[in-house]
Structure 1
């Protein structure tokens, strides 16, 4: 049974990141495999869309680390090619086509940026505590605009982002809370930057909207703690951490270990999330 908290003792906080909270909310069984099972079950092969996302994020981080005079679109293209992650693709030709598509993404995106607008942080680690959480995470970019902080998160998927995506994102709200507390500046605006289309989705949080996101995160954390305590007390792992079959199962790293996940959707190739291949790169 769960250990009782002693009167007068501080409450133990749930250490978490956005990924950890999302993993439990998406599928408790997947959460258990990632964070609790030891040894951890082997993951499936790498995904090509993850390689594209990592490559673009790394190129944009390194672009901001360049000297001011080198912050030009051509340099972004060079950094993308230099740091290209060549994993999960069908063959070298597909990888090369997507590398050049990545070049187009970052060149077009940085062409719309002011290279002199120095961010407050790039890949900035932030952390804070609530009554139940010890939260930490890493913000893609943290801008300082007219004395207020702005959380910027890059997206590289096929679907353009919307203002509703920004408003309902638990990660962005918690980043805003943590950044504002750490740097002691107002932080209410959060943005999703869709790099392929250079479009921006925006949400302006209030104390109330951030509080709602915190309550939701604390509720997810409480469920994760209860399930973990049940497992450690000898409970059935599949009862404490039941699978949550759905469309995400086709993309799960642990699908082959989960009968319910295998039945939930079709098998996906490692490059399927990319969609239609871009045409040959221009010479």
Structure 2
């Protein structure tokens, strides 16, 4: 019997709660969730448990919006003062889309905390001008949604901050980060997202991007990497192994927590066994495993390089 990736064999739509969803595709962020903690992946993708917005993440969204909108202006007008002037308007647009973001800031301080937060966002925007010159850039795409299906049936998707194409046809993928650049020993993890995007572009356009570029506004650094076909083939194998582990966990309902230092920032401690909580009832049909070998259910199997 052939099954769709992420589907539970033998189950019908009526077997699952209306709010539940079987994984149907993989993005860099969701792949990162599963590698960090399979139970976190379940909470976000299958249970869709709510999470509180954070000031740091919202600031990142704001800065991304400003840098995207700056390219609406002619090249000579892409200046730091113009970019900073976009911050209040883009913040208002975020508030209109998500009024709950106003709860990030106390009401009784006369707007002091919000003003400080907006100033921090402006500083990140201004720092970008020390790293790139937007007057010399004409992005082909901004906030570019990409999606492709591999031969295996795995669907990959994501949003690329910026795509530049040189007159020679060479492609550069750029991603803005509002945090600090990682230490060299952790650079590979940071580049995973970019290699994911490069794989999608390669499969879509049959072109290997010439350069992957991470722009860290928090520390004023730029991390670059020039991929080759062998890199992207390794990433594809890793993603296929990851997806197989996700499918196995989906079918068995066995999603193991993986404690790390990041647990302290998790919104789901109340329902996590590592903190004495109980996960909500699993909303999908479960297929018992028979004669399984090679590791614990839900565990990520090592990818072959």
TM-score normalised per structure 1: 0.77
Structure with bigger strand share is 1
Matched, 1:255 2:265: no
Show structure 1 runs of 5+ residues with no match: 232-239, 264-283
Alignment of structure 1 residues 51-200 onto 2, 5 Å = 51-84=58-91, 89=104, 91=106, 92-110=111-129, 112-132=132-152, 133-145=154-166, 146-157=168-179, 159-161=180-182, 167-168=188-189, 169-200=191-222
Corresponding residue number in structure 1 for 2:2: 5
Per-residue CA deviations over 1:113-165 (Å, capped at 9, x if unaligned) read: 132420111101112222332101110111113421111111111x3246665
CA distance in 2, matches of 1:171, 1:216: 13
Q: Secondary structure of 2:124's match? A: helix
Cα offset, 1:87, TM superposition: 5.0
Cα 1:211–1:88 change in 2 (3 A) is farther
1:46 aligns with 2:53: yes
* 1:259 Cα offset (Å): 4.0
Q: Determine whether 1:26 maps to 2:36.
A: yes
Q: Which is further off, 22-31 or 164-173? A: 164-173
Go from structure 1 to structure 2 and tell me whether the alpha carbon gap of 1:175 and 1:89 turns closer, same or farther (over 3 Å shift). same
Q: Say what the alpha-carbon RMSD is for the aligned residues.
A: 2.5
Q: Is the 8 A contact 1:105 1:196 kept in 2?
A: yes
Q: How many residues align?
A: 244
Match of 1:236 in 2: none
Per-residue CA deviation, residues 77-133 of structure 1 (Å, 9 max, x unaligned), is 011222236556464423311211211221231354132420111101112222332
**Closer/same/farther in 2, CA of residues 12 and 160 from structure 1, 3 Å limit:** closer
Equivalent residue number for residue 279 of structure 1: none
Structure 2's unaligned 5+ residue stretches are 7-23, 95-100, 278-305
Cα 1:261–1:120 shift into 2, 3 Å: farther
SS in 2 for 1:77: helix
CA distance in 1, matches of 2:36, 2:58: 22
**83-92 or 139-148, which deviates more:** 83-92
Determine the structure 2 residue equivalent to 1:220.
242
State how far apart, in whole Å, the 1-side matches of 2:276 and 2:112 are: 30
Deviation at 1:187, TM superposition (A): 0.8
